[in-house]
């Protein structure tokens, strides 16, 4: 009798597993939103609030210059299936994303459609030019600085906005996304307190960056960016500008040069030699190094580098 | 603008309210000040969110107004003195066509927002040397100095279903509509369709505008078999779709039907003489920095020999690209080749000509590129006459928006004549030129 009971229990278990195996993937498939993001940071934030109800992939890699991504046809394979495209906006992707969107043959993600999300609308944007803009200023972004995700407060705003959009596209899981956002918010607030207190002793410190990609980070953590290795955005370093910068750094006693991983270190290194400054290869994006796998680790990594450099 | 001032006003009011509360409770204890700080933070959040909404509204309004002004017929053509576009834009809401709110009224910024992306690309070429002995009829050497082309680009999203692109090419002698087409981006079943005048998808070089070529001129095979600089560039429609393929392979098929006129290749004697171009493209990422792109093309149409004679063109193209992502702005390599077979009916006998080029370009540094090209091609009307040639190209980019290029070119024409040329090219770009397809 006991044996029979065990057998029937096994049979029921097997039946359950069979049903689960048959049904579960279908259910999961039906509910997963297919999301493509322009950059890894947007992917990381979308993953935070989307949890297992979304599958997210980024077009640009974290160690790649997001201004110059090639519009490879392989990206079209992802875009044509996508329910949602999350972009950084502010013309960061203007050189490569528009033709991909046009060619994708996917009406859901066309500009203005419900599945096209320009995340810049949620964030605090700095460096919005007030006067006339022209290209003598270099490759300036007329709508403001697009590197806005490097302020954790903007990260929170983006996550909230993205969670709202996910809920709109998948109303059945709207509560789930909101709950994930609340959870992210809590973790971010805790992490932010830690980061803020770690960086507190260095508020007001002067730094130089290669490209103007740190205004939001600098604002949040109270860094003073006094100059750039590039003479103008997108224009490679010139000897005269480099000399001026060396002079400025000496005068201002600036000891840190922050460089994105995709720029050549030759000029920053020679500036460092002249000024006794330290070159810090910081990461502007999630995935810039293998271990930097999410939005939290991005700040952990950069703050760790900076505090070491400031000490 | 209204929203912006609205949000600023809102902010001012909020700050006033906060400070009013502050004075109302003179002895604010810690709990109160924390609450106040929270309030200020909340208000900050609201302002940032409002600013974002303003940006969205601004862009939405401009496209809505653009659509409205495009859809609305010119109200009264009576006032003929009125200059065309700009002043009308401001009048659209006033005419009561739509009740969309205006942001910034009819000010310059608002008017500009309605414009398509406008760009001009100048292509200035200087040449030293040339043919020896004097030029052949079939060969067009470059003049000493010329403003070869000024390409005006006008590009915009038309409505939620389509975008429009115009490229008007001003040469030294006249104006030509290089391309002008609508692209339907929201078709069912992942189809993308175009209608208008466009460069056909026969191979790679035929699709490229002058300023994106890695050389000053086009390969011999293009000149001899595919209609030269203009190539197969005709009025018609095009439909393309990504095809199902094994994982990791991008497969795309394009079918195009044109009127049937392409100088030097096709001629339409009557309305039924349409030409067709079909293209199959297979692409694969070999790894994150290297990829291979292969295409097969077929074109068919009537030629200028006789109303009954046709020309078939067959093409194979292959491109290998390398660009390390971590150093993508400093180094890259592209190797490309196209093989083209032409089958042309004419009297007394059909001509079957073959031509090809192979080229390679290496990016030495952020601003420097070095490349070379080998050319070999028969002529469509005289298949047994084969021209060969070669080029070395050095390109310098002061910025993304200008380019200086030098090219030494040697050509050995079938008749036994040679040409040695040194070409110098300056390309400069103004305004917002839309990104090109890969």
Interface test with B, best of A89, A121, A165, A211 (most B CBs within 10 A): A121
Query: Is the minimum CB–CB distance between A42 and chain B shorter than 8 Å?
Result: no
pLDDT over 60 (residue B136): no
Residue B155 distance to chain A (closest CA, Å): 11
Residue B231 lies in a domain: yes
Asked if B225 and B289 sit in the same domain, the reply is yes
pLDDT over 60 (residue B212): yes
> Token digits for B242?
């990504």
List C-alpha distances in Å: A84 to A78, B54, B71.
11, 22, 29
Q: Predicted confidence band at B32 (pLDDT cuts at 50, 70, 90)?
A: confident
Query: Is the minimum CB–CB distance between B165 and chain A shorter than 8 Å?
Result: no
Taking CB atoms and an 8 Å limit, are B438 and A73 in contact across chains?
A: yes
**For residue range B243-272, what is the model confidence (pLDDT) as tens digits?**
999 988 999 999 999 999 999 999 999 999
**Average model confidence (pLDDT) for chain A?**
89
Which chain B positions have a beta carbon within 8 Å of A139's beta carbon?
399-400
Residue B75 lies in a domain: no
Q: Say if residues A68 and B329 touch (Cβ distance below 8 Å).
A: yes
**For residue range A269-286, what is the model confidence (pLDDT) as tens digits?**
999 999 999 999 999 999
pLDDT over 50 (residue B168): yes
Q: Which residue of B has its CA nearest to A94?
A: B435
Q: A224-238, B37-51, B172-186, B195-209: lowest mean pLDDT where?
A: B37-51
Asked if B265 and B387 sit in the same domain, the reply is yes
Taking CB atoms and an 8 Å limit, are B435 and A95 in contact across chains?
A: yes
- Tell me the CATH number at B190: 2.40.160.10
Query: Is the minimum CB–CB distance between B246 and chain A shorter than 8 Å?
Result: no
Residue B413 lies in a domain: yes
Residue B438 lies in a domain: no
CATH code that applies to domain A196-310: 3.40.50.1980
What integer pLDDT is reported at residue B135 of this predicted model? Answer: 52
**For residue range B84-134, what is the model confidence (pLDDT) as tens digits?**
333 333 333 333 333 444 443 344 455 566 789 999 999 999 998 876 655
ipTM of the predicted assembly exceeds 0.90:
no
pLDDT over 50 (residue B355): yes
Asked if B148 and B288 sit in the same domain, the reply is yes
Query: Is the minimum CB–CB distance between B22 and chain A shorter than 8 Å?
Result: no
Residue A288 distance to chain B (closest CA, Å): 9
Query: Is the minimum CB–CB distance between A94 and chain B shorter than 8 Å?
Result: yes
Query: Is the minimum CB–CB distance between A138 and chain B shorter than 8 Å?
Result: yes
Asked if B42 and B132 sit in the same domain, the reply is no
**For residue range A27-41, what is the model confidence (pLDDT) as tens digits?**
444 569 999 999 999
A265 DSSP 8-state letter: S
Taking CB atoms and an 8 Å limit, are A122 and B52 in contact across chains?
A: yes
**Average model confidence (pLDDT) for chain B?**
83
Q: Which residue of A has its CA nearest to B365?
A: A264
Query: Is the minimum CB–CB distance between A130 and chain B shorter than 8 Å?
Result: no
**For residue range A187-245, what is the model confidence (pLDDT) as tens digits?**
999 999 999 999 999 999 999 999 999 999 999 999 999 999 999 988 889 999 999 99
Taking CB atoms and an 8 Å limit, are A71 and B438 in contact across chains?
A: yes
What integer pLDDT is reported at residue B109 of this predicted model? Answer: 52
Asked if B175 and B309 sit in the same domain, the reply is yes
Closest by Cβ to B56, choosing from A80, A121, A123: A121
Query: In degrees, to the nearest 5, what angle opens at C-alpha B270 toward C-alphas B269 and B275?
Result: 80
Asked if B325 and B294 sit in the same domain, the reply is yes
Query: Is the minimum CB–CB distance between A174 and chain B shorter than 8 Å?
Result: no
Asked if B187 and B265 sit in the same domain, the reply is yes
By residue count, chain B amounts to: 438
What's the distance, CA B268 to chain centroid?
27
Asked if B44 and B121 sit in the same domain, the reply is no
Number of domains in chain B: 2
Asked if B226 and B351 sit in the same domain, the reply is yes
What integer pLDDT is reported at residue B438 of this predicted model? Answer: 78
CATH code that applies to domain A28-195: 3.40.50.1980
> Token digits for B407?
């090219």
Q: At which of B60, B94, B113 does a domain end?
A: B113
> Token digits for B324?
């390390």
**For residue range B300-328, what is the model confidence (pLDDT) as tens digits?**
999 999 999 999 999 999 999 999 999 99
Residue B109 lies in a domain: yes
Interface test with B, best of A58, A74, A140, A259 (most B CBs within 10 A): A74
Asked if B142 and B98 sit in the same domain, the reply is no
Closest by Cβ to B435, choosing from A94, A112, A121: A94
Which chain B positions have a beta carbon within 8 Å of A116's beta carbon?
none
pLDDT over 70 (residue B41): yes
Residue B99 lies in a domain: yes
> Token digits for A8?
């029937």
Taking CB atoms and an 8 Å limit, are A106 and B252 in contact across chains?
A: no
Could you tell me where in chain A the CATH 3.40.50.1980 domains are found?
Answer: 28-195, 196-310
DSSP A9-38: HHHHHHHHHHHHHHHHHHHHHHH-EEEEES
Residue B224 lies in a domain: yes
pLDDT-above-70 percentage for chain B? 79
What integer pLDDT is reported at residue B132 of this predicted model? Answer: 63
**For residue range A76-113, what is the model confidence (pLDDT) as tens digits?**
999 999 999 999 999 999 989 999 999 999 999 999 89
Q: Which residues form the domain of B151?
A: 117-431
Asked if B107 and B160 sit in the same domain, the reply is no
Residue B250 lies in a domain: yes
Asked if B263 and B316 sit in the same domain, the reply is yes
């Amino acid at each position: 009798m006991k044996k029979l009971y065990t057998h029937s229990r096994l049979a029921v278990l097997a039946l359950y597993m069979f049903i689960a195996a048959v049904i579960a993937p279908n259910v999961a498939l039906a509910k997963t939103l297919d999301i493509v993001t322009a950059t890894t940071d947007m992917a990381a934030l979308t993953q935070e609030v989307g949890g297992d109800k979304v599958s997210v992939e980024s077009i640009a890699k974290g160690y790649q210059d997001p201004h110059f991504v090639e519009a490879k046809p392989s990206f079209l394979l992802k875009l044509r299936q996508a329910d949602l495209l999350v972009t950084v906006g502010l013309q960061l992707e203007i050189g490569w994303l528009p033709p991909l969107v046009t060619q994708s043959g996917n009406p859901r993600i066309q500009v203005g459609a419900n599945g096209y999300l320009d995340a810049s609308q949620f964030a605090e944007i700095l460096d919005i030019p007030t006067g006339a803009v022209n290209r003598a200023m270099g490759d300036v972004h007329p709508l403001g600085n697009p590197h806005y995700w490097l302020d954790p407060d903007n990260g929170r705003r983006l996550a909230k906005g993205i969670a709202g959009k996910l809920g709109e596209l998948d109303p059945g899981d709207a509560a789930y996304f909101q709950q994930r956002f609340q959870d992210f918010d809590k973790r971010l607030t805790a992490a932010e307190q830690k980061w803020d207190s770690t960086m507190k002793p260095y508020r007001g410190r002067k730094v130089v960056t290669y490209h103007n990609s740190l205004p939001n980070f600098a604002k949040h953590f109270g860094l003073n960016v006094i100059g750039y290795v590039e003479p103008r955005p997108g224009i490679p370093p010139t000897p005269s500008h480099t000399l001026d910068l060396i002079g400025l750094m000496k005068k201002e006693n600036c000891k840190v040069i922050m460089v994105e991983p995709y720029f050549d270190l030759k000029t920053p290194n020679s500036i460092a030699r002249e000024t006794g400054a330290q070159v810090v290869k910081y990461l502007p994006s999630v995935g810039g190094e293998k271990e930097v796998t999410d939005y939290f680790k991005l700040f952990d990594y950069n703050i760790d580098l900076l505090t070491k450099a400031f000490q | 603008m209204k929203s912006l001032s609205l949000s600023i006003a809102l902010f001012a009011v909020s700050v006033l309210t906060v400070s009013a509360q502050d004075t109302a409770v003179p002895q604010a204890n810690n709990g109160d000040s924390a609450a106040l700080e929270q309030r200020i933070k909340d208000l900050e959040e609201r302002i940032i969110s409002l600013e974002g909404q303003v940006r969205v509204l601004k862009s939405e309004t401009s496209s809505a107004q653009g659509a409205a002004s495009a859809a609305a017929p010119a109200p009264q053509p009576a006032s003929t003195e009125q200059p065309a576009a700009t002043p009308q834009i401001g009048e659209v809401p006033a005419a009561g066509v739509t009740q969309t709110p205006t942001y910034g009224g009819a000010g310059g910024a608002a008017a500009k927002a309605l414009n398509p992306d406008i760009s001009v690309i100048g292509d200035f070429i200087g040449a030293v040397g040339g043919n020896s002995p004097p030029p052949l009829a079939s060969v067009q050497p470059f003049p000493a100095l010329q403003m070869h082309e000024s390409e005006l680009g006008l590009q915009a999203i038309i409505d939620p279903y389509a975008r429009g692109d115009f490229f008007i090419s001003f040469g030294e002698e006249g104006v030509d509509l290089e391309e002008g087409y609508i692209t339907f981006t929201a078709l069912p079943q992942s189809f993308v369709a175009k209608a208008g005048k466009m460069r056909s998808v026969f191979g790679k070089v035929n699709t490229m505008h002058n300023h994106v070529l890695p050389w000053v001129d086009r390969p011999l095979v293009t000149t001899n078999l595919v209609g030269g600089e203009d190539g197969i560039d005709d009025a018609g429609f095009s439909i393309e779709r990504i095809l199902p393929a094994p994982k990791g392979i991008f497969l795309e098929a394009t079918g195009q039907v044109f009127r049937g006129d392409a100088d030097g290749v096709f001629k339409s004697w009557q309305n039924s003489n349409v030409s067709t171009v079909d293209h199959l493209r297979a692409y694969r990422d070999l790894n994150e920095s290297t990829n291979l792109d292969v295409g097969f093309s077929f074109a068919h149409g009537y030629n200028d020999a006789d109303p009954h004679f046709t020309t078939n063109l067959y093409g194979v193209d292959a491109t290998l690209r390398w660009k390390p992502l971590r150093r993508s702005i400093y180094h890259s390599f592209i190797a490309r080749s196209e093989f083209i077979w032409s089958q042309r009916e004419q009297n007394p006998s059909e001509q079957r000509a073959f031509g090809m080029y192979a080229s390679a370009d290496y990016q030495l540094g952020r601003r420097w590129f070095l490349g070379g090209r080998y050319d070999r091609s028969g002529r469509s009307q005289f298949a047994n006459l084969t021209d060969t040639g070669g080029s070395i190209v050095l390109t310098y980019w002061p910025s993304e928006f200008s380019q200086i290029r030098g090219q030494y070119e040697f050509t050995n024409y079938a008749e036994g004549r040679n040409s040695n040329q040194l070409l110098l090219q300056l390309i400069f770009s103004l305004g917002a030129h839309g990104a090109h397809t890969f």
